[in-house]
């Protein structure tokens, strides 16, 4: 492993001037990526450590971690942001621009670790997540669509478990103990034996027998019946599409299931607990254990029912065995990227995988940098990165890059609403120092949130062509006054890594100072106190208010022994509060907790704030209107 500049950068090809700026897709297509096996060799991977998908993608085998176990880790940098507009403020673009600057321009090993985008926003409002302009992951259409099929694997696994739950209820309600037992443990060629997962269930039940014929009638009933209480089922079916009409539905209405219908719902696939498990696991064995302990309901005695109880753990692991391997791609300038896992930050923990980060930290070497990105504002994605991801991984971050835009700051300063697909008002395209100054309250608050965790903060101002020098200088000045280590204007969108060299230098300097990282709360605190700590210290709430449903769930999870898990708040990303229209820094509000769920396999408690939905809907004019395929060249059009 060469730790003094391990790749040959790709020369950035700028398109000639046009009447309109080239699209992200046009820029991506103008650059010829190096073959992925060449990239893999450059970064120190062996031929048997990669599985190639086409010309530009590869999966990386986890055996690499064993080979590099004695290699010192590089520096660990998180990219977060201020509270965004609905258009997004460019965290992925900054992440890509930063690693392009580090490696292609400063000859420092670096790796970007990004989430795989959901097809929900790709075809909805936001579009893809490959970055933009001259700071992208390429080929961007492969990044933004199926990639290597990880989300499809999650969908299949999730829905297999959902089917197992309702089917088990049906069979238990329509069969005697003996009939149920005989079907669960059938005689094959005159021999009856328990499967390995059934033996594990017997052990859990305290039945120390391995001969199926040796169980008493009481033991047969205890083994065969889960006695799931349908009203406690928390496991939902998922789909990787924004479909508001699946938010509530009735299942089991066919004549064959008559009498066993119930209210249910679909969540978007990236909200599945299996996605969170993928993002937080550190090995295949750990993933299997996490999948098995996922709680899907309670039985009629109030005890948790798990995927392991349903006998589906092995099948889930088989469906996920390839998805656990990080996906290797590259930036426009030929620097390496891992794309792996994609939980949303507003309805999940919003960070890419622990495994991708751990592998990248070994590959870059002690002087290198791994730059990963957390979803939405620092109050959401960054808080969960620290309190959930770092707690699970044991990794310590060296610095935070906080992305801001003049556009978002003007919105927080009282500017008109910003709506996807609607032209910006003149306040956003003309200089307005007062709006910027007033809106910097949100930037200052997000800096303060980062400082709660003891990590140095560098503000990256993602510059747009309508930003003026006075506005840029004001943001940088106010950011430093608020305690930022540095604040740097960034021009990566228009000129690539060259436009973020100063940011890269600031990050290198900040990371060299050492981190005093600390968690926000002790996980041994009661669930309510952990929720209150986040609400008050991070969001700025006066207090929290629990619905009767939320309080009941907290009591149940505490009684079941899950009270010592970290908290993953499901909250709007458009405000520090629970109300999306409250911009800037809302004060003196009461944060309503409408419901609480438990992701035991992933390892966190999951409160829902206000009316938060786990299935997005499509807007009046979704992105799919612009997406097409040239049937002659087979080239995709309209992705962004």
Supply the residues annotated as catalytic.
91, 93, 115, 126, 345, 376, 464, 493
* Cα 312 from chain centre: 25
Residue 251 neighbours by CB distance under 10 Å: 15
In terms of Cβ atoms closer than 10 Å to its own Cβ (0-12, 13-18, 19+), residue 221 is middle
- What are 406's two structure tokens? 């003049």
Give the residue among 469, 150, 198 at the shortest CA–CA distance from 308: 198
Give the residue among 373, 396, 520 at the shortest CA–CA distance from 460: 373
Peptide bond connecting 372 to the previous residue in cis, omega within 30 degrees of 0: no
What angle do the packed helices 177-184 and 217-224 form, to 10 degrees? 70
- Alpha-carbon distance of 562 to 607, in angstroms, equals 14
Give the residue among 606, 566, 573, 571 at the shortest CA–CA distance from 591: 571
| Cα–Cα distances in angstroms (integers) from residue 243 to residues 120, 273, 287, 391, 464, in the given order | 8, 19, 29, 34, 33
Phi, psi of 525 (to 5 degrees): -60, 155
- What are 58's two structure tokens? 């590869």
| Cα–Cα distances in angstroms (integers) from residue 32 to residues 10, 137, 255, 467, 496, in the given order | 9, 12, 56, 32, 15
* DSSP character at residue 622: -
Helix (H) or strand (E) holding 100: helix 91-100
Rounded to a whole number, what is the distance in angstroms from the first to the last CA of the chain?
Answer: 36
- Alpha-carbon distance of 51 to 125, in angstroms, equals 33
- β pairing state of 486-490 and 457-462: parallel
Give the residue among 401, 382, 379 at the shortest CA–CA distance from 390: 382
């Amino acid at each position: 492993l060469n730790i003094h500049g391990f790749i040959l950068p790709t020369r950035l090809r700028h398109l000639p001037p046009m009447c309109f700026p080239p699209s992200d897709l046009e820029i991506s297509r103008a650059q010829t990526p190096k073959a992925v096996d060449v990239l893999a060799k450059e970064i120190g991977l062996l031929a048997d450590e990669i599985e190639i998908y086409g010309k530009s993608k590869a999966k990386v085998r986890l055996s690499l971690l064993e080979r590099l176990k004695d290699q010192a880790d590089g520096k660990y940098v998180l990219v977060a942001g201020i509270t965004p507009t609905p258009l997004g403020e460019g965290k992925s673009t900054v992440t890509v621009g930063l690693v392009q600057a580090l490696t292609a321009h400063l000859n420092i090993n670096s790796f970007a670790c990004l989430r795989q985008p959901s097809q929900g926003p790709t075809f909805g409002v936001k579009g893809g997540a490959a970055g933009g302009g001259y700071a992208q992951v390429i080929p961007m259409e492969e990044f933004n669509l199926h990639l290597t099929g990880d989300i499809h694997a999650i969908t299949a696994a999730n829905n297999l478990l959902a089917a197992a739950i309702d089917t088990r209820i049906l069979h238990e309600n329509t069969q005697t103990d003996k009939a149920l037992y005989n079907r669960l443990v059938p005689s094959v060629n005159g021999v009856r034996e328990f499967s390995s997962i059934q033996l594990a269930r017997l052990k859990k039940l305290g039945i120390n027998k391995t001969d199926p014929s040796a169980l008493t009638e009481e033991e047969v009933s205890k083994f065969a019946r889960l006695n799931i209480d349908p009203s406690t089922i928390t496991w939902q079916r998922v789909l990787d599409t924004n479909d508001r009409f699946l938010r509530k539905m009735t299942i089991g209405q066919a004549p064959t299931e008559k009498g066993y219908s119930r209210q249910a719902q679909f969540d978007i696939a990236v909200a599945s607990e299996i996605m969170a498990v993928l993002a937080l696991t550190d090995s295949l064995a750990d993933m299997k254990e996490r999948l098995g302990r996922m709680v899907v309901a309670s039985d009629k005695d109030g005890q948790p029912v798990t995927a392991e109880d349903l006998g589906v753990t092995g099948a889930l692991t088989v469906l996920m065995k390839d998805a656990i391997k990080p996906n290797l791609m590259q930036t426009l300038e030929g620097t390496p990227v891992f794309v792996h896992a994609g939980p949303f930050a507003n309805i999940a923990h919003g960070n890419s995988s622990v495994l991708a980060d751990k592998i990248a930290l070994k590959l870059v070497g002690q002087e290198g940098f791994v730059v990963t990105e957390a979803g939405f504002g620092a109050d959401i994605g960054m808080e969960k990165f620290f309190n959930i991801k770092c707690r699970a991984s044991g990794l310590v971050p060296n610095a935070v890059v906080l992305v801001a835009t003049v556009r978002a700051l003007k919105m927080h300063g009282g500017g008109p609403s910003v709506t996807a697909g609607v032209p910006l008002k003149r306040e956003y395209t003309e200089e307005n120092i007062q709006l910027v100054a007033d809106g910097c309250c949100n930037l200052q608050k997000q800096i303060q949130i980062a400082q709660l965790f003891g990590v140095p903060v560098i503000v990256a101002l993602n510059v747009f062509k309508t930003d003026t020098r006075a506005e840029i200088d004001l943001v940088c000045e106010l950011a430093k006054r608020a305690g930022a280590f540095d604040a740097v204007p960034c021009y990566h969108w228009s000129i690539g890594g060259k436009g973020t060299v100063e940011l890269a230098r600031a990050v290198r300097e900040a990371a060299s100072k050492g981190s005093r990282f600390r968690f926000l709360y002790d996980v041994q605190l009661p669930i309510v106190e952990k929720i209150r700590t986040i609400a008050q210290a991070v969001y700025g709430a006066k207090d929290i208010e629990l619905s009767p449903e939320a309080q009941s769930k907290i009591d149940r999870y505490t009684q079941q022994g899950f009270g010592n898990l970290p908290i993953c708040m499901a909250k709007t990303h458009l405000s520090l509060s629970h109300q999306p229209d409250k911009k800037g820094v809302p004060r003196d509000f009461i944060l309503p907790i409408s419901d609480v769920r438990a992701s035991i396999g992933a390892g966190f408690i999951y409160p829902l704030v206000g009316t938060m939905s786990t299935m997005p809907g499509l807007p009046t004019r979704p992105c799919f209107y612009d997406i097409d395929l040239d049937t002659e060249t087979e080239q995709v059009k309209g992705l962004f």
